[in-house]
Structure 1
Amino acid sequence: MVVGRTARRPLRADARRNYERIVSAAQEAFLEQGADASLEEIARRAGVGSATLHRHFPSRHSLLQAVFRDRVDALCARARERAAADEEPGAALFAWLHDFNAYAAASHGLVASLLRDGQDAGPPRQDDDCAAMITAAADELLRRAQRTGAVRADIRTSDLLTLLSALSLAVLDDDGTQTDRMLDITINGLRPHA
């Protein structure tokens, strides 16, 4: 599915190739330079003009969504796998938080870019698919863990995602050690007090 194009007719073969080249170039640039990578540089790497890039992706946010949709799909599939496993619900949630943390670290804070409000100005956005998918995955794991008493009942999904988003922004240049430590502190704060 092409993000933001569900109501439009399918792309011609040449337009589809341009779309795929832009997404591939953007993925490389975002991984190397973060969410603020130059859109002009992405167009150059893709071998298309800036107008072609903007025709497919009217905002930076829409391009970020396209680039990370597959990765978000995989992260959410991992949440479903953890929920379906015979794992204790609290352990499943905490393991997925580590999955999320690894994903965020590998994405150089781009997950936080997708989750936070105030994206690029531009035409009105449709539902933020990536954030909605992550929210649904986290919500299911959180509710299961709360039903078994593994997580405090007063924790909301929005609290959890805000913590994860902040964590991914706070430790962009970390080798993983501080990130893991901060996530462990977060997890301890989610558990019911003795």
Structure 2
Amino acid sequence: MERVKPLRADGQRNRERLVAAAAELVGRDGAQASLEEIARRAGVGSATLHRHFPSRQLLLEAVFRDGVAQLCERAAVQPGEEPATRLATWLEEVTVYTATHRGLAEALLTGPEALTAEEICCSDMLLEVLDALVARASSAGAIQAGATSEDLMTLANAIAVANEDDPDTARRVLRLALAGIRP
């Protein structure tokens, strides 16, 4: 098995700046955002971008996984926040992220190094977080007994797909739908 050499501190900073710049520009311009503009926005040269991400698809994958990891980190229950509110807030964040970055997942599915939908969605990470949120809300009697994590993820994804590039509508439709899961 090949060992991956850890990045030096400056290399790690460059990688983080590239992913942040790419996330911003992909959010604005879609998956075909200019690689040159991404490098410029990150304050690095094109060669540095290609050293870290030899293909557009690898950069897009890093952007998507970073976004999903951030969503999962934000799922921690805040002290005093009611479980149903935390669940609804997090589902809204996932829906808006997916609606805003929908072209990103499609680009990863159809690119030359095509990933499976499960690899792109990071569904295991998302479902683990959602399972915990649903369990808390369910034990507090804040959602219908039959509501499952898979149901809620399907709902959030369907709303995001139907409202691609329209996060405000996705948010509004999700709020309407979630009103129906409360007992």
**What is the TM-score of this pair, normalised by structure 2?**
0.68
Q: 1:124 to 1:8 in 2, by over 3 A?
A: farther
Residues 65-107 of structure 1: CA deviation (Å, up to 9, x unaligned): 423555444432332134xx233322321232234345456xx
Q: Map residues 106-117 of structure 1 onto 2, 5 A cutoff.
A: 108-110=100-102, 113=105
Distance 1:28 1:117 in 2: 17
The residue type equivalent to 1:56 in the other structure is: H
Q: Map residues 117-136 of structure 1 onto 2, 5 A cutoff.
A: 118=109, 120-122=111-113, 130-136=122-128
Partner of 1:3: none
> Post-superposition shift, 1:139?
1.6
Partner of 1:29: 25
Distance 1:8 1:129 in 2: 24
Partner of 2:181: 190
> Post-superposition shift, 1:24?
4.0
Residues 122-173 of structure 1: CA deviation (Å, up to 9, x unaligned): 2878966954332222121012222333223333322222222232232234
Question: Does 2:172 match 1:172?
Answer: no
Query: Contact (CA 8 Å) 1:23, 1:66: kept in 2 or not?
Result: yes
Partner of 1:94: 88
Give the aligned length.
Answer: 179
Question: Does 2:71 match 1:80?
Answer: no
Partner of 2:15: 19
Gaps of 5+ in 1: 1-5
Query: What root-mean-square deviation, in Å, do the aligned CA atoms of Structure 1 and Structure 2 show?
Result: 4.0
Distance 1:181 1:123 in 2: 32
Distance 2:55 2:180 in 1: 37
